[in-house]
Amino acid sequence: MRKIKIFDTTLRDGEQSPGVSLTMEEKLAIAEQLSLLKVDVIEAGFPISSSSDFESVKNIAQKIRDVEIAALARANYKDIDCAWEALQEAEQPRIHVFIATSPIHMKYKLQMNEDQVLERAVEAVKYAAKYTNNVEFSAEDASRSELEFLYKLFEKVIEAGAWVINVPDTVGYAIPQEFGEFIKKIKENTRNLDKIELSVHCHNDLGMATANTLVALKEGADQAEVAVNGIGERAGNAALEEVLMALVTRKDYFEDLVVTQDTTKILKLSNMVSQFTGMVVQPNKAIVGKNAFAHESGIHQDGVIKERTTYEIMKAESIGLNSNKLILGKHSGRHALKEFLTSSGYTVNEETFEKLFIKFKDLASKKKNLNPLDVEALINDELYKTED
């Protein structure tokens, strides 16, 4: 069995979402909730980027125990010193050093060649390793980098003291099958990679972040970097709730992988992140969207009333929701209306029920967002008339 580590970057990559800015109190509240959910690593921020980021990382490092706390640093002494200063009171600190490795990034952004990048990466990892033996190295834009270069670079940074090697799909360019092959090749061709931890960090530009993460885990990656509600740069990161629930729900497929998180904390965390960031969760968002456990059509409602597993692969309770929902709308059938009547405390005879059902269908076809109160009003109206 392989234990998969969940590395949450909501407070770092997530906060890099356009327009998002979290206060120190909000960051601490999210970190507390992440720790209750039992993520393995919380990336608390990028300390050199601003004094408020520095203070938040320091605050989280002091207060959140039992979880590894990571801070991001570019591959230079100043960033690493600053990351360490913010982290030093953490129970389990991790310095996360990164440098870009793709031809595009090296040429245009860094204006460095492969040898220079390799030298800088090794020097930075060696420097960070003086502070802690928990150093993560990320090859930014790895999925668009030359494999031969990555093998060599990873070998050297492992020798220099990296404990985790992270392979980011920085611009969400990878396709699942291809990314799986990519990870497999890195595993097969990088000396000593089996002695340390391999991580992936997938962005969602083509909507494949979760799929890419899962395929990489299947191919032997040990750590998934994720963010709550999938927030992050541009189209965001792989969503924590999707990766986690896929691993749990499809245990049959991910048979040798173990996750130890408490999934019942997902919904509260999702609501909190949405409220603090102002980023609304789309209704049909997997796992945490308001429709994710709701059924409207008559056929589906009938199935679910008879046996939940007909149309549900997960229990609403497993993410912290009280129960699934049968939505009364124009597609609903008799079963749903009966269920609504019973759960609202009404007992009606067959004749009244049939009258009610016709009126309900009529109302539902006219009104877009049918509220339970509308249905109650309709029922009361009909019952009152009947008694008359």
59 annotated ligand binder: no
> With contact defined as beta carbons under 8 Å apart, do 326 and 332 qualify?
yes
Chosen residue from 7, 10, 13, 173 binding ligand KIV by CB under 6 A: 13
Q: Is 43 among the residues that bind Zn ion (CB under 5 A)?
A: no
Write the DSSP string, 199-236.
EEEEB-TTS-HHHHHHHHHHTT--EEEEBGGG-SSTT-
Task: Give the CA angle between residues 103, 106, 108 to the nearest 5°.
Answer: 100
Return the DSSP state at 290.
T
Return the DSSP state at 190.
S
Q: Tokens 């960090």 label which residue?
A: 201
Complex with Zn ion: residue 125 or 167, whichever CB lies closer: 167
Partner whose binding site includes residue 140, from Zn ion, ligand KIV, none (CB under 5 to 8 Å by kind): ligand KIV
Q: Applying CB under 5 A, which part among 9-17, 55-63, 69-77, 331-339 lies near Zn ion?
A: 9-17
- Other residues' Cβ atoms within 10 Å of the Cβ of residue 377: 12
Q: Tokens 């709701």 label which residue?
A: 294
Site string (148-187) toward ligand KIV, x via CB under 6 A: ------------------x-x-x-----------------
Residue 218: both structure tokens together: 């299947």
The residues pairing with 198 across neighbouring beta strands, listed in sequence order, are 165
Chosen residue from 26, 40, 53, 140 binding ligand KIV by CB under 6 A: 140
> With contact defined as beta carbons under 8 Å apart, do 239 and 207 qualify?
no
Residue 241: both structure tokens together: 């709730």
Return the DSSP state at 291.
T
Q: Is 140 among the residues that bind Zn ion (CB under 5 A)?
A: no
Q: Is 5 among the residues that bind ligand KIV (CB under 6 A)?
A: no
Chosen residue from 5, 10, 12, 13 binding Zn ion by CB under 5 A: 13
Complex with Zn ion: residue 13 or 68, whichever CB lies closer: 13
Q: By CB under 6 A, what part of segment 223-252 binds ligand KIV?
A: none
CA distances from 130 to 119, 135, 160 (A): 17, 10, 10
Partner whose binding site includes residue 68, from Zn ion, ligand KIV, none (CB under 5 to 8 Å by kind): none
Complex with Zn ion: residue 13 or 136, whichever CB lies closer: 13
Chosen residue from 10, 138, 212, 332 binding ligand KIV by CB under 6 A: 138
Q: Could you list the residues known to form a binding site for Mn(2+), using ranges.
A: 13, 201, 203, 237
Site residues (CB under 6 A) for ligand KIV? Answer: 13, 98, 138, 140, 166, 168, 170, 201, 203
Q: Could you list the residues known to form a binding site, using ranges.
A: 13, 201, 203, 237
Site residues (CB under 5 A) for Zn ion? Answer: 13
